[in-house]
């Protein structure tokens, strides 16, 4: 199947073709560039779900999928997992975490490894979300690995960023303020049936209060118990409200600029081989008076 046929099937909502397209892009197989240049994205919104490990992000995502599907929506989910040190693939699988939706016709779930990306996302996350948009999904959920302050990248990708925390995270709030605290459009205090949940919510709201001038701009704080589906409907209502207000931010353009820089660098370095450079340097070096900078200037 050539990339034109593949794209046609993706646009028709063929999940297998979409999975194949993502693999094509991930591994940079021949034709992936042509595929990306031809896609026409839909206006689907991206919902980022992030926060520290153990906060219950996957359970929360699972509950949101259920409500969206009941509302007749098509949902795509990207689960960004830590890379395996052995094969660089995703450590956690979508079958384990969201098995109920794996074969659902209106849900597409893909686990991706960070592959060492410092921003907590997959290095080709922009390209993959664009493929999902081409597949005409209504909502795209991106659940990111909880790596703390380096995870700010999600706020450039998502139209709305949901930061999930737990009541026991009180000591972490101060250290997170410069990172996750500043990227949240919505805060979720999950596992809010635990002791001191109300006190944690109170302290979180106090910390947020000086940041905003009016109540209209205040970041919502939602209490949930995801495994019991409590608070999920309220959270989804707030997410939908925030999506209506979402707009392009400076972070989005910085993320695109970073990706553009990397792609331009790769394009211009295409065909440059270190082994060949070594051979050329050896030849020039033998002539005497080797100058590295002149060698580069002559290339």
- For the stretch 199-221, pLDDT in tens is 888 888 877 776 554 444 578 99
- Write down the pLDDT at residue 93: 45
* Mean pLDDT value of segment 31-45: 89
- Write down the pLDDT at residue 146: 61
Higher pLDDT, 40 or 47: 47
d(CA 53, CA 173): 14
Token pair listed for 184: 């949240």
- Least confident range from 47-56, 95-104, 128-137, 268-277: namely 95-104
Backbone angles phi, psi at 165, to 5 degrees: -135, 170
**117-140 burial code (b ≥16 CB/10 A, e <16):** bebbbbbbbbbbbbbbbbbebbbb
For residue 140, give Cα distances in angstroms to 43, 75, 97, 131, 212. Answer: 11, 6, 17, 11, 29
Domain 42-250 classified CATH 3.40.50.300?
yes
Sign of CA dihedral 206, 212, 213, 216: negative
- Write down the pLDDT at residue 215: 41
Closest CA to 76 of 130, 120, 31: 130
Closest CA to 117 of 151, 143, 148, 91: 151
* Mean pLDDT value of segment 228-245: 94
Helix (H) or strand (E) holding 181: helix 180-183
For residue 149, pLDDT beyond 70: no
Share of the chain above pLDDT 90, in %: 41
Domain extents for the chain? 1-40, 42-250, 256-297
- Write down the pLDDT at residue 99: 64
Higher pLDDT, 259 or 72: 72
Token pair listed for 255: 């993320």
- For the stretch 49-73, pLDDT in tens is 988 888 899 899 999 999 999 999 9
């Amino acid at each position: 199947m050539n990339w034109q046929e593949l794209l046609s099937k993706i646009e028709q909502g063929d999940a297998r073709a979409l999975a194949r397209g993502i693999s094509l892009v991930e591994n940079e197989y021949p034709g992936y560039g042509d595929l990306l240049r031809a896609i026409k994205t839909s206006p689907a919104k991206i919902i980022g779900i992030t926060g520290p490990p153990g906060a219950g992000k996957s359970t929360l995502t699972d509950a949101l999928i259920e409500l969206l599907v009941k509302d007749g929506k098509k949902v795509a989910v990207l689960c960004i997992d830590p890379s395996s040190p052995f094969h660089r693939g995703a450590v956690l699988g979508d079958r384990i975490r969201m098995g109920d939706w794996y074969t659902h016709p209106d849900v597409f779930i893909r686990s991706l490894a960070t592959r060492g990306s410092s921003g907590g996302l997959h290095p080709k996350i922009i390209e993959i979300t664009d493929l999902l948009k081409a597949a005409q999904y209504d909502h795209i959920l991106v659940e990111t690995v909880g790596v703390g302050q380096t995870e700010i990248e999600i706020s450039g990708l998502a139209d709305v960023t949901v930061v999930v925390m737990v009541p026991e995270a009180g000591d972490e709030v101060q250290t997170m303020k410069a990172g996750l605290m500043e990227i949240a459009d919505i805060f979720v205090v999950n596992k809010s049936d635990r002791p001191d949940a109300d006190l944690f919510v109170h302290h979180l709201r106090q910390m947020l209060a000086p940041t905003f001038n009016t109540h209209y701009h205040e970041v919502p704080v939602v209490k949930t118990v995801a495994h019991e589906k409590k608070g999920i409907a309220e959270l989804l209502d707030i997410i939908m409200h925030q999506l209506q207000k979402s707009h392009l931010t400076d972070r989005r353009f910085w993320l695109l600029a970073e990706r553009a820089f990397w792609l331009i660098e790769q394009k211009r370095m295409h065909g440059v081989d270190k082994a060949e450079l070594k051979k050329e340097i050896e030849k020039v070096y033998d002539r005497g008076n080797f100058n590295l900078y002149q060698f580069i200037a002559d290339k």
